[in-house]
Amino acid sequence: MHTIRLDLQYDGSEYAGWQIQENAVTVQELVERALSMILRERIRVSGASRTDSGVHALGQVAAFTTESEIPMEKLRRSLNGILPPDIRLTDAREVEAGFAPRYAREKTYRYAFALGAYLSPFQRRYAWHIHEPLDLEAMQAAANYLVGEHDFSSFVAAGGGEKGHVRTIHGISFGEGGILNSCVGNEGLFHFDITANGFLYKMARNIIGTLVEAGRGKLPAQSMAAILEARDRGLAGPTAPAQGLCLVSVKY
């Protein structure tokens, strides 16, 4: 048996997330179906991150096992020839047996939001449009309280199924620009990059929603410490919309 690693990019706008679901089209389903057609055997794919409905990926990592000895370049061409154009395989390589994508050293998500009176139609799928000004320095100050190892129960949504809620955030950094480089430019577009050893269900979006509350002046930055300590989802901010979130990279 051969273990194959896939590096994938996708626009998640039209999909119900990565993980296979009943009565909904997902990225994992389409990748497995295409691979099964190419290799003429039943293929099951595991992914590094179960991105939610509407969430994008520039650096999703997946893996599967196969008896086939298909050359990797032929696999890349064949898979991209079958997959819809909003899902692309960027790299395929054989790796050691037992490689499990979800056991990553760190994952980085980027969340983009746009400030101003209007949002370009070319950015509407890739940013959260916020009409009012935000105090970006207050948002960064609030984010700093989250860096390190903590119990992130206050930022996990129901239904994730994780047994433990302790994760380590290595860094949360603010920057200008969004997810895409576009001909419309980056004016009014900003982002936060969050790097951690793992993420709970909707953890990144719940963190961003809370940081935006700090940026609106509704939540003092220093209150983040108390929110963490309380381990109570009801004390944190709302869940940010899915379209602003993108899985940027996974490192092993």
Say how many C-beta atoms besides its own lie within 10 A of residue 228's C-beta.
Answer: 20
Distance CA 143, CA 174 (A): 9
> If you ran DSSP here, which 8-state letter would residue 12 be given?
G
User: How many CA atoms are closer than 13 Å to the CA of 129, on its beta-carbon side?
Assistant: 11
Nearest to 240 by CA among 2, 7, 41, 54: 54
Count the Cβ atoms, other than its own, within 10 Å of residue 160. 13
109 is in an annotated binding site: yes
Parallel, antiparallel or unpaired: strands 245-251 and 128-130: unpaired
Please give the Cα distance from 236 to 200 (Å, whole number). 15
Active-site residue set? 52
Q: Binding site for substrate, residues?
A: 109
Q: Binding site, residues?
A: 109
